[in-house]
Amino acid sequence: MRHRKAGLKLNRTSSHRDAMFRNMVTSLFKYERIRTTDTKAKGLRRWADHLITLAKRGDLHARRQAFSIIREKDVVHKLFSKANERFGAMLGGYTRIVKLGRRPGDAAFVSMIELVTPEKSKKKKTKAKKSPAVKKKQVAVEKAKPEKKEEKLIEKIAEEKSAKSEEDTDKKPDKMELSAESEETPPEENKAEDDIENTEPEK
For residue 7, being part of any structural domain is answered with no
Q: Considering the chain, what is the average pLDDT of its residues? A: 81
Provide mean pLDDT across the span 78-89: 92
For residue 98, being part of any structural domain is answered with yes
Provide mean pLDDT across the span 94-119: 93
Q: What CATH number is given to the structural domain containing 30?
A: 3.90.1030.10
For residue 127, being part of any structural domain is answered with no
pLDDT in the model for residue 181: 52
The answer on 110 and 31 residing in a single domain is yes
168: domain range? 132-199
pLDDT tens digits for 13-60?
999 999 999 999 999 999 999 999 999 999 999 999 999 999 999 999
The answer on 99 and 18 residing in a single domain is yes
Confidence of residue 118 (pLDDT cuts 50, 70, 90): confident
Q: Is the pLDDT of residue 186 over 60?
A: no
The answer on 107 and 171 residing in a single domain is no
Provide mean pLDDT across the span 129-149: 66
Residues linked to residue 34 through DSSP beta bridges, in sequence order: 113
Provide mean pLDDT across the span 162-180: 63
In percent, the amount of the chain with pLDDT more than 70 equals: 69
Q: Tally the domains of the chain.
A: 2
SS3 annotation, 60-85: HHHHHHHHHHCCCHHHHHHHHHHHHH
CA atoms within 13 A on the CB side of 160: 6
The answer on 98 and 142 residing in a single domain is no
Note the pTM of the prediction, 2 decimals. Answer: 0.57
More confident residue, 145 or 8: 8
pLDDT in the model for residue 58: 92
The answer on 185 and 94 residing in a single domain is no
Q: Is 190 left (phi over 0), alpha (psi -120 to 50) or beta?
A: alpha
The answer on 159 and 69 residing in a single domain is no
The answer on 19 and 109 residing in a single domain is yes
pLDDT in the model for residue 203: 44
The answer on 110 and 26 residing in a single domain is yes
Distance CA 169, CA 163 (A): 10
